[in-house]
């Protein structure tokens, strides 16, 4: 990239750049690309990619943040791969994602569909459903710990009344993670709702009208028209939820602290502990690059696969 | 007041028979009453459930000596605004809130501009390595902040930006999250529109500003809400980059209310209310745009 | 696609270079501001203990110091405890930590053994309690000064004791006495618990000492608590849970759970620190304190905070003067006593006289009495990991997932691994 490719501002109309079209006026096009991408690319490069590369450097050292770094080569990666904790935190994170994503997607989409109808006070309802997204995790976690209290919580009281088993939730190693999943999905419903609502606005009315005229019933219209036309939003929600889900931290930190006995510890929780509590920043960086590899692979698979199901105008 | 935001500009949705976007209301206005009531019942119950933690926050904040231990109570014996007074006495709340506000506004504005432009670039311009570059953008979301914070801090210190507004703002000038969301939105805008404009001699800049931006307002509003929220709530980065009290933001200020051994929860919750309400307002303002969609701009 | 990937390597390499230089600079250059000649020197002081109510008290000490030392200005940066170490470590990593900063005893060893602290040159050793002063030295070098200390005593609700017709605790109570009383005081129907003692590393190391055991061996190379005393200590803590003491499911461990329970008059005995005095001052019942019951021996937990000078500071002399003032001046002693801000670390106990009649609890003498047999936390370089590992095993035993013996032996193995 050199200075000569600075954006040209002359008003000469660029050729219509149809996908797969001729590669006319390449320089001109580069100018536009630079103009549109530079404002985001430069800060991302400086303030995210540079620190990312810095953390690659850290990952090859033994460093407690307060003494000089000691070169360790790939030792941090090697020791992580043999440490059973690594396996536990990745398994927990995966379980979290698998449980969280369907709940939050189905719930958020349902809400968006309901609140896209004409209802009295609709905007206030939407705000109500959005409120948990902005409420602090400290409060939400306390509410959920109270709801899921094993002895006298509301949830177990109801389960007991209908004769179902009453799990120990956050006090039980098996049920701690499901408790976190439930509360996270609940809190993030509003997030998905907002995105799906925006997506619903982009569906042209005449398409639905045509489907209606063809005699499609509500269910058919939903499956054959609405859902396919929402696929760009769905794709976004799935990709982002998985990227964020693999980095789940706050809720685990405040709800279970990774316990009981480390049974709900997740990757970023471990990264946080290693960096700021255990003075093992090198290993933390290495662990975050293992996490990066996993997220990158999963995202790449989704981007590859999107052609098959994501509908673009 | 409730229905002002549900004008005819909305996507027509009338038949409430099931969770779906329904056909236009024109042909028949008959409403199966029970279904409609059911919808209301569902929405009202749902809203109460969702509002509960916030209500608890408010209630704790007006309970004298309020405590979080022992579960929520819905009845307050001697409600008082004392906690709010203590809050305002302990911290320069207005100053802190104003700091947070300007940082949030600046980062939201910057993210909208940088994000929409990049999204247009990815959605509408053809260039070699586009997928790789977009992949790099997404990759910036894949490393947790907890591990970036130390290298980033060292970089900022090298640039002389520690303890400045610029340093505070720098990591949120652009966000791949916004770029991605807006790219999805632009890809839903029919290409015929900009092709027609291109034939009329419009440049990319004009197409972007006059055709694309108005059409993606719901997505822009959505990004604005999340960008504002992210900045408003961000804690770890301000914690390490800021050291002068005059730059203090809300989350940092509220954290000082938590003691090492004991915490006055009524005051902490008052602070919580103080920080939640502005975002709720931002959301209410933004949602007009989130629902003012296609019909408004006359796309058929 | 492959092609462009290679092409984009150039900017990546550029960025790596940038990052490397950033890191290199970060660890090489330290505090940037040079010592100014002539005008007053500014000493930056980072701390956590003033947060939450003592900000003005620290300001007052600072003002007294500055008027006695017109050539020095102190710039105070207070961060809440929960976030302090995150901020401090990042600042140390970036070379921007204060000229002086506060450390608690548990973290001191990590910092002193990594060369981040400046050896102190002019220490008035006579001013400090010897045991506290020694806590902040390493290998014969004084790296820090004790700033304050506090200890743990047994709080008890006199009304509940009277109602249950149980004799109030005395200084020579043992675990057995406490246990017997707790059983009588626990009243499930009224929601009253007899006892509360967190199941944590900090209670455990002390209980081991009370049982007559050692936590680590003499040269700190191995855990020594996988012993009869260590098992007895674990049994003592774990055995209470669910019988005379609320469990995790009852809410134990959530923020302010224990203080609320005690203040609501639903807890008869409570093992906690003297820092809770002011919070309980307006409790609507009679309460007092007593030296914690022991078993084979008496042993009271002691916590202490210290202040140190940054090895990278350009103003070490001025910083040392500030921390000496902060830890030994009469202004500090008065301020701390007047505002119940822990206890000053001074050797001369006569200076502490006013503490004895500063209000509830009546038996403040117990605070000093428990100093006769104190035990500081065992400290190793990988401190936090040790605390977490021990806490984790104990709480597993409390929940009944493993036996007490298993918990002790697992914890000992984990500690051994951390000492390697």
Same domain, A163 and A304: yes
Same domain, A193 and A55: no
Same domain, C324 and C384: no
The answer to whether A109 and A192 are in contact (CB under 8 A) is: yes
Q: How confident is the model at residue B177 (pLDDT cuts 50, 70, 90)?
A: very high
* C281 in contact with chain A, both atoms CB, cutoff 8 A: no
Contact B136 C8 (CB under 8 A): yes
| Residue C76: half-sphere exposure toward Cβ, Cα within 13 Å | 22
Same domain, C297 and C314: no
pLDDT digit string, tens, across residues A157-201: 889 899 998 888 888 889 999 999 999 999 999 999 999 998 888
Tracing tokens 């929940």 back to the chain, one arrives at C399
Same domain, C102 and C185: no
Contact A143 B53 (CB under 8 A): yes
Domain assignment present for residue A302? The answer is: yes
Same domain, A219 and A295: yes
Domain assignment present for residue A262? The answer is: yes
pLDDT value for B32: 61
Q: Which residues contact C231 (CB under 8 A, 6 or more apart)?
A: C404, C405, C408
B6 has a pLDDT exceeding 50: no
Domain assignment present for residue A68? The answer is: no
Interface test with chain A among C10, C93, C406, by most A beta carbons within 10 Å: C93
What distance in Å separates residue C88's CA from the closest CA in chain B? 8
Contact B290 A219 (CB under 8 A): no
Give the count of domains, chain A: 2
Domain assignment present for residue A64? The answer is: no
Same domain, C321 and C359: yes
Chain A hits for C395, Cβ within 8 Å: 259-261
The answer to whether C274 and C367 are in contact (CB under 8 A) is: yes
What is the domain range of residue A295?
Answer: 75-309
Chain B residue closest in CA terms to A269: B146
Q: How confident is the model at residue B20 (pLDDT cuts 50, 70, 90)?
A: very low
Q: How far apart are CA A282 and CA A287, in angstroms?
A: 9
Chain C hits for A58, Cβ within 8 Å: 23
Domain assignment present for residue A70? The answer is: no
| Residue B110: half-sphere exposure toward Cβ, Cα within 13 Å | 23
Chain C hits for B129, Cβ within 8 Å: 1, 3-5, 7-8
pLDDT value for B26: 46
Domain assignment present for residue A109? The answer is: yes
Domain assignment present for residue C413? The answer is: yes
Is B155 or A151 the better-scoring residue by pLDDT?
A: B155
Same domain, A8 and A91: no
b/e sequence A259-271, b meaning 16+ C-beta within 10 Å: bbbbbbbbbbbbb
Q: What is the CATH number of the domain that holds C405?
A: 3.40.190.10
Chains in touch with C (3+ beta-carbon pairs under 8 Å) read A, B
Q: Which residues contact C230 (CB under 8 A, 6 or more apart)?
A: C208, C211, C213, C215, C224, C408, C412
Same domain, C358 and C262: no
pLDDT value for B121: 96
Contact C251 B136 (CB under 8 A): no
Average pLDDT of every residue of chain B: 83
* B113 in contact with chain C, both atoms CB, cutoff 8 A: no
Distances in Å between the Cα of C387 and the Cα atoms of A142, C223, C384 are 25, 13, 5
The answer to whether A25 and A14 are in contact (CB under 8 A) is: yes
Q: What is the CATH number of the domain that holds A228?
A: 1.10.3720.10
pLDDT digit string, tens, across residues B128-151: 999 999 999 999 999 999 999 999
Domain assignment present for residue C157? The answer is: yes
Superfamily per CATH, domain B87-297:
MetI-like (1.10.3720.10)
* B259 in contact with chain C, both atoms CB, cutoff 8 A: yes
Same domain, C182 and C213: yes
| Nearest Cβ partner for C4 among B129, B150, B154 | B129
pLDDT value for C34: 47
Same domain, C385 and C360: no
Same domain, C198 and C326: no
Ranges of beta strands (E only) in C197-299 are: 267-273, 287-290
Q: Which residues contact B183 (CB under 8 A, 6 or more apart)?
A: B118, B119, B122, B123, B134
Query: In angstroms, how far is the first alpha carbon of chain A from the final one?
Result: 33
Same domain, C404 and C265: yes
Start-end of CATH 1.10.3720.10 domains in chain B: 87-297
Each of the 313 residues of chain A gets a pLDDT tens digit; together they read 333 333 434 444 444 444 444 444 666 788 999 999 999 999 999 999 999 999 999 999 999 998 889 999 999 999 999 999 999 999 999 999 999 999 999 999 999 999 988 888 888 898 899 989 888 787 788 788 888 888 778 888 889 899 998 888 888 889 999 999 999 999 999 999 999 998 888 787 788 888 888 888 888 888 988 999 899 899 999 999 999 999 999 999 888 888 788 889 999 999 999 999 999 999 999 999 999 999 999 999 999 998 888 876 5
Contact C19 A54 (CB under 8 A): yes
pLDDT value for C9: 38
Query: Which DSSP helix (H) or strand (E) runs through C151?
Result: strand C144-157
* Surface-to-core class of residue A236, CB atoms within 10 Å of its CB (0-12 exposed, 13-18 middle, 19+ buried): buried
Same domain, C55 and C144: yes
- Token pair recorded at residue C307: 């202040």
pLDDT value for B68: 62
Q: How confident is the model at residue B70 (pLDDT cuts 50, 70, 90)?
A: low
What is the domain range of residue C356?
Answer: 41-149+304-364
B263 has a pLDDT exceeding 60: yes
Domain assignment present for residue A130? The answer is: yes
Handedness of CA A132, A136, A140, A143 (dihedral sign): negative
Q: Which residues pair with C148 in a beta bridge?
A: C305
For chain A, give the DSSP string: --GGGPPP---PPPPP--TT----SHHHHHHHHHHHHHHHHHHHIIIIIHHHHHHHHHHTEE--SSS--EE-TTHHHHHHHH-HHHHHHHHHHHHHHHHHHHHHHHHHHHHHHHHTS--TTHHHHHHHHHHHHHS-HHHHHHHHHHHT-TTT-HHHHHHHHTT-----GGGSTTTHHHHHHHHHHHHHHHHHHHHHHHHHHTS-HHHHHHHHHTT--HHHHIIIIIHHHTHHHHHHHHHHHHHHHTT--HHHHHHTTT-STTTT--HHHHHHIIIIISS-HHHHHHHHHHHHHHHHHHHHHHHHHHHHH----
Q: How far apart are CA A204 and CA B298, in angstroms?
A: 10
Residue C156 sits at φ, ψ, to 5 deg, of -145, 150
| Nearest Cβ partner for A45 among C15, C86, C393 | C15
Walking along chain C (420 residues) 10 residues at a time, the average pLDDT comes out as: 37 46 42 55 96 91 96 96 94 94 93 91 91 91 95 95 95 95 93 94 96 94 96 95 87 80 94 90 93 94 94 95 96 91 90 86 91 90 93 92 96 95
Same domain, A41 and A147: no
Find, among C374, C364, C368, C404, the residue nearest to C131 by Cα.
C374
What distance in Å separates residue B33's CA from the closest CA in chain A? 13
Contact B294 A226 (CB under 8 A): no
Give the count of domains, chain C: 2
Q: How confident is the model at residue B79 (pLDDT cuts 50, 70, 90)?
A: confident
Q: How far apart are CA C234 and CA C66, in angstroms?
A: 49
pLDDT value for B22: 44
* B88 in contact with chain C, both atoms CB, cutoff 8 A: no
Listed in sequence order, the DSSP H helices in B234-264 are 236-241, 250-255
């Amino acid at each position: 990239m050199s200075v000569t490719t600075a954006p040209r501002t002359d008003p000469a109309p660029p050729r219509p750049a149809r996908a797969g079209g001729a590669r006319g006026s390449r320089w001109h096009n580069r100018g536009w690309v630079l103009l549109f991408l530079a404002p985001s690319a430069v800060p991302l490069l400086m303030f995210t990619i540079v620190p990312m590369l810095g953390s690659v450097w850290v990952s090859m050292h033994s460093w407690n943040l307060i003494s000089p770094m000691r070169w360790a080569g790939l030792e941090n990666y090697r020791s992580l791969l043999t440490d059973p904790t690594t396996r536990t935190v990745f398994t927990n994170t995966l379980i979290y994602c698998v449980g969280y994503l369907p709940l939050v997607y189905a719930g958020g989409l349902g809400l968006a569909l309901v609140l896209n109808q004409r209802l009295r006070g609709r905007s206030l309802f939407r705000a109500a459903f959005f409120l948990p997204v902005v409420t602090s995790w400290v409060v939400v976690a306390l509410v959920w710990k109270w709801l899921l209290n094993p002895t006298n919580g509301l949830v177990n009281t109801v389960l007991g009344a209908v004769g179902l088993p009453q799990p120990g939730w956050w006090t039980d190693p098996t049920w701690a993670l499901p408790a976190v999943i439930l509360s996270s999905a609940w809190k993030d419903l509003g997030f998905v709702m907002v995105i799906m609502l925006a997506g619903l606005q982009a569906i042209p009315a005449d398409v639905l009208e045509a489907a209606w005229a063809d005699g499609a019933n509500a269910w058919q219209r939903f499956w054959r028209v609405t859902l396919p036309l929402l696929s760009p939003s769905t794709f976004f929600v799935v990709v982002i939820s998985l990227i964020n889900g693999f980095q789940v931290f706050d809720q685990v930190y405040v709800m279970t602290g990774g316990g009981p006995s480390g049974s709900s510890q997740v990757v970023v929780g471990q990264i946080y502990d290693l960096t700021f509590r255990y003075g093992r920043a090198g290993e933390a960086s290495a662990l975050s690059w293992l996490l990066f590899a996993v997220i990158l692979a999963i995202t790449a698979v989704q981007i590859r696969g999107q052609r098959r199901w994501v509908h673009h105008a | 007041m409730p229905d002002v935001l549900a004008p005819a500009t909305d996507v027509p949705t009338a038949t409430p028979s099931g969770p779906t976007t329904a056909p236009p209301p024109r042909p028949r206005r008959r409403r199966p009453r029970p279904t409609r009531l059911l919808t209301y019942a569902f929405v009202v119950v749902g809203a109460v459930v969702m509002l509960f933690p916030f209500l608890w926050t408010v209630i704790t904040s007006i309970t004298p000596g309020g405590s979080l231990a022992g579960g929520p109570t819905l009845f307050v014996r001697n409600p008082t605004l004392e906690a709010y007074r203590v809050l305002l006495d302990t911290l320069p709340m207005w100053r802190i809130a104003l700091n947070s506000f300007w940082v949030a506004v600046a980062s939201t504005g910057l993210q909208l501009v940088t994000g929409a432009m990049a999204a247009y670039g990815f959605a509408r311009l053809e260039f070699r390595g586009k997928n790789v570059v977009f992949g790099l953008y997404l990759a910036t979301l894949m490393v947790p902040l907890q591990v970036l914070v130390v290298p980033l801090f060292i970089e900022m210190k090298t640039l002389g930006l520690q303890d400045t507004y610029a340093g505070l703002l720098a990591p949120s000038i652009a966000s791949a999250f916004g770029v991605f969301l807006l790219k999805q939105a632009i890809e839903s805008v029919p290409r015929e529109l900009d092709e027609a404009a291109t034939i009329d001699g419009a440049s990319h800049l004009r197409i972007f500003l006059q055709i694309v931006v108005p059409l993606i307002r719901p997505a822009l509003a959505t990004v604005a809400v999340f960008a504002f929220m992210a900045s408003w709530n961000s804690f770890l980065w301000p914690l390490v980059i800021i050291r002068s009290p005059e730059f203090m933001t809300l989350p940092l200020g509220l954290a000082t209310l938590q003691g090492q051994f004991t915490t006055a929860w009524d005051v902490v919750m008052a602070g919580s209310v103080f920080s939640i309400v502005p975002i709720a307002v931002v959301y209410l303002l933004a949602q007009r745009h989130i629902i003012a969609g296609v019909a408004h701009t006359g796309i058929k | 696609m492959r092609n462009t990937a290679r092409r984009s390597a150039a900017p990546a390499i550029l960025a790596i270079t940038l990052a490397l230089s950033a890191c290199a600079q970060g660890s090489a250059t330290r505090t940037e501001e040079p010592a100014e000649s002539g005008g007053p020197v500014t000493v930056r002081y980072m701390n956590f203990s003033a947060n939450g109510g003592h900000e003005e008290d620290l300001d007052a000490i600072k003002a007294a110091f500055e008027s006695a030392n017109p050539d020095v200005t102190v710039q105070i940066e207070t961060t809440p405890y929960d976030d302090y170490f995150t901020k401090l470590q990042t600042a140390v990593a970036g070379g921007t930590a204060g000229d002086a900063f506060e450390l608690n005893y548990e973290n001191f060893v990590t910092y002193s053994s990594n060369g981040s602290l400046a050896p102190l040159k002019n220490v008035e050793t006579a001013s400090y309690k010897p045991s506290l002063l020694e806590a902040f030295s390493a290998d014969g070098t004084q790296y820090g000064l004790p700033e304050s200390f506090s200890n743990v005593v047994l709080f008890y609700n006199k009304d509940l004791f009277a109602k249950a017709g149980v004799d109030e605790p005395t200084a020579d109570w043992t675990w057995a006495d406490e246990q017997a009383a707790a059983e009588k005081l626990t009243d499930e129907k009224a929601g009253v618990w007899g006892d509360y003692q967190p199941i944590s590393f900090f209670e455990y190391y002390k209980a081991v000492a009370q049982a007559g055991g050692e936590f680590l061996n003499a040269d700190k190379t191995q855990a020594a608590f996988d012993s009869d005393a260590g098992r007895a200590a674990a049994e003592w803590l774990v055995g209470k849970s669910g019988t005379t003491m609320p469990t995790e499911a009852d809410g134990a461990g959530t923020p302010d759970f224990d203080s609320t329970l005690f203040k609501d008059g639903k807890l008869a005995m409570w093992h906690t620190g003297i820092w809770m005095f002011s919070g309980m001052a307006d409790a609507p019942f009679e309460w007092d304190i007593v030296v914690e019951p022991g078993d084979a021996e008496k042993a009271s937990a002691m916590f202490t905070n210290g202040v140190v000078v940054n090895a990278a500071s350009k103003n070490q002399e001025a910083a040392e003067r500030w921390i000496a003032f902060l830890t030994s001046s009469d202004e500090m002693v008065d301020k701390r006593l007047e505002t119940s801000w822990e206890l000053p670390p001074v050797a001369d106990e006569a200076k502490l006289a006013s503490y004895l009649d500063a209000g509830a609890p009546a038996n403040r003498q117990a605070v000093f009495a428990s100093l006769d047999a104190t035990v500081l936390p065992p400290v190793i370089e990988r401190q936090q990991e040790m605390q977490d590992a021990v806490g984790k095993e104990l709480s597993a035993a409390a929940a009944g997932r493993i036996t007490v013996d298993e918990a002790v032996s697992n914890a000992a193995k984990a500690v051994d691994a951390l000492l390697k």
